[in-house]
Amino acid sequence: MSTFGISDALCARVPALQAWLEHAYLDIAPVAAHLPRDKGSIYVMLASEIAFANCRDILIDYREGEPRFIRAANGLPARVEFGPADTEFACALVAELLRPSGTPAVGDGASARLMMLASRIAMSDATVLIQGDTGTGKEGMARFLHARSGRRERDFIAVNCAALPETMMEAMLFGHKKGSFTGAAQSSDGLFLAADGGTLFLDEIAELPLNLQAKLLRALQEGEILPVGATHPVPVNVRVIAACNRDLAAEADAGRFRSDLYWRLNVMPLAMTPLAERRGDVLAIAAAMLLGFDEKHNPEAEFIWPTEDTISALKAHEWPGNARELGNVLQRALVLREGERIVASDLSLMAPVAPFAQPQRALAPQVPVVEPIIMSGSRGRPTRLQDIARASKLDAVRHALREADGHRALAARKLGISERTLRYRLAELRNLALA
């Protein structure tokens, strides 16, 4: 971690800032602003201490009134102005201004401890298995592991196994020789060789077919791959980081994933918990996202602050879509807001769906009434059983997508299917609409 300093005068004036920075996975220490400092160090200090600041520092003006963030420019340091009502978000904002590139936003004590563990794992060359719900930051963690490893000067190759065409998976991962199959006009190294010396991140590893799992196991155990059409294996030096949004141990128990590959991947397991279980990270991620939106879309415009009520609403929400949902909510709020700040009503938060409770009755069980499914275009002919089943599945897909507000990964989880299967169902819907 980089070392940062916070001036003694600022610690006394805004003690909440020191506490937040210490929990944000930043190596921060109190310093005397007027004393000589190490070259390249970054200080956070009071605006009144500007005489001791350089252009990389952050000045804090703690006063009453509307908050303001002024970017560093023309040789002057960045400046954050705020009062008591905006202290919490201001602390998160300062932490994200200090955070080194490639380090995930952290504001929760448990997440900071996880990052400390990840830093230790990163220095080894062991295979890592990251498990967690969609949108919890698995790829961000994988990039952090690569950036802190001895392989950081080489390539980081990320691939979503669910997005690979099933007929081309083997060739894309392990490469192929010219003429090894129809259309193979040229040889290709494949993703393993592309990541040689670096890191290969295999997201959604559970979507890998069983036959390819055996080849992946050999690549991990022997450090060599066999391209399609080749007769001799090729040595590779790759660190594999795998990720999955399902319980891979349960998948192995159910026979949908090779147990030997699971144990080979599960050398260094990391569990990413849902955002609802790490409330401190909500503000950290929100501050990082607002800064990112600001720098990308409005670098010259005034930074938009959320109000205190908005902060409370963000922290209270359950975030079923995790960080992806948070990003969508903030982007919508920035576009649709009417005032100078983001207020709670701008957030358009989805209320959690309450579970339906069946009344407990000591009566004889009743046969449920099943509504008939009307098949269009039947022209009076009797509907086949397979048509009824197909229509029922498509209705379930429509309902799940409506509940998930169009979020495909969340809809797939509700249905208990993979995102690939959901794409097939959506294609059926489109064909049905065109029929």
Q: DSSP string of 284-312?
A: HHHHHHHHHHHHHH-TTSPPPPBPHHHHH
CATH number at residue 133: 3.40.50.300
| Closest to 6 (Cα-Cα) out of 46, 56, 50 | 46
Using an 8 Å Cβ cutoff, are 3 and 27 in contact? yes
Mean pLDDT for 275-298 is 89
Backbone angles phi, psi at 52, to 5 degrees: -100, 5
pTM: 0.76
User: Nearest-5° angle of CA 190, CA 242, CA 139?
Assistant: 95
pLDDT category, 434, cuts 50, 70, 90?
low
Q: Is the pLDDT of residue 406 over 60?
A: yes
Say if residue 150 is in the same domain as residue 265.
yes
Output the pLDDT for position 18.
92
What would the pLDDT profile of 205-245 be if each residue is shown by its tens digit? 999 999 899 999 999 999 998 888 888 889 999 999 999 99
Domain assignment present for 374: no
pLDDT category, 9, cuts 50, 70, 90?
very high
Say if residue 147 is in the same domain as residue 268.
yes
Q: Which two tokens stand for residue 197?
A: 């010396």
Provide the residue type at 365 as one letter.
Answer: P
Output the pLDDT for position 33.
94
H or E element in which residue 260 lies: helix 259-265
Say if residue 291 is in the same domain as residue 258.
no
* Cα dist from 240 to 8, 10, 151, 223, 250, whole Å: 44, 44, 12, 11, 21
Q: Is the pLDDT of residue 19 over 50?
A: yes
Say if residue 86 is in the same domain as residue 154.
no
| Residue corresponding to tokens 């579970």 | 355
Output the pLDDT for position 398.
77
Cα 162 to Cα 419: distance, rounded to the nearest angstrom: 7
Q: Is the pLDDT of residue 106 over 70?
A: yes
| Count of CB atoms situated within 10 Å of the CB of 65 | 11
Say if residue 96 is in the same domain as residue 132.
no
Mean pLDDT of the chain: 85
Between 375 and 433, the higher pLDDT residue: 433
Output the pLDDT for position 266.
94
Q: Which two tokens stand for residue 213?
A: 């799992």
Q: Is the pLDDT of residue 364 over 60?
A: no
Q: Is the pLDDT of residue 15 over 70?
A: yes
Between 432 and 123, the higher pLDDT residue: 123
Between 102 and 399, the higher pLDDT residue: 102
Using an 8 Å Cβ cutoff, are 294 and 304 in contact? yes
* Cα dist from 9 to 34, 39, 65, 366, 385, whole Å: 11, 21, 21, 73, 77
Region of poorest pLDDT, from 5-9, 153-157, 351-355: 351-355
pLDDT category, 426, cuts 50, 70, 90?
confident
Domain assignment present for 373: no
Cα 13 to Cα 9: distance, rounded to the nearest angstrom: 6
What would the pLDDT profile of 292-342 be if each residue is shown by its tens digit? 987 776 767 789 999 999 999 999 999 999 999 999 999 999 988 989 999
Between 350 and 98, the higher pLDDT residue: 98
Using an 8 Å Cβ cutoff, are 200 and 150 in contact? no
| Closest to 118 (Cα-Cα) out of 106, 158, 245 | 106
DSSP assignment of 204-246: SGGGS-HHHHHHHHHHHHHSEE--BT-SS-EE---EEEEEESS
Mean pLDDT for 162-181 is 83
What would the pLDDT profile of 24-67 be if each residue is shown by its tens digit? 999 899 999 999 998 889 999 999 999 999 999 999 999 999 99
Region of poorest pLDDT, from 12-21, 124-133, 151-160, 169-178: 169-178
Q: Is the pLDDT of residue 429 over 70?
A: no
Using an 8 Å Cβ cutoff, are 346 and 333 in contact? yes
Say if residue 262 is in the same domain as residue 208.
yes
Say if residue 85 is in the same domain as residue 192.
no
Q: Is the pLDDT of residue 360 over 50?
A: no
Domain assignment present for 122: yes
Residue 397: domain span = 385-434
Say if residue 142 is in the same domain as residue 262.
yes
Region of poorest pLDDT, from 68-82, 340-354, 410-424: 410-424
Say if residue 14 is in the same domain as residue 31.
yes
Using an 8 Å Cβ cutoff, are 129 and 242 in contact? yes
Query: How many distinct structural domains can be found in the chain?
Result: 3
Say if residue 170 is in the same domain as residue 245.
yes
CATH number at residue 18: 1.10.8.60
Domain assignment present for 361: no
Say if residue 221 is in the same domain as residue 294.
no
Domain assignment present for 235: yes
Between 229 and 432, the higher pLDDT residue: 229
What would the pLDDT profile of 136-168 be if each residue is shown by its tens digit? 999 999 999 999 999 999 999 999 999 888 778
How many angstroms separate the most distant Cα atoms in the chain?
Answer: 90
Domain assignment present for 420: yes
Say if residue 76 is in the same domain as residue 195.
no
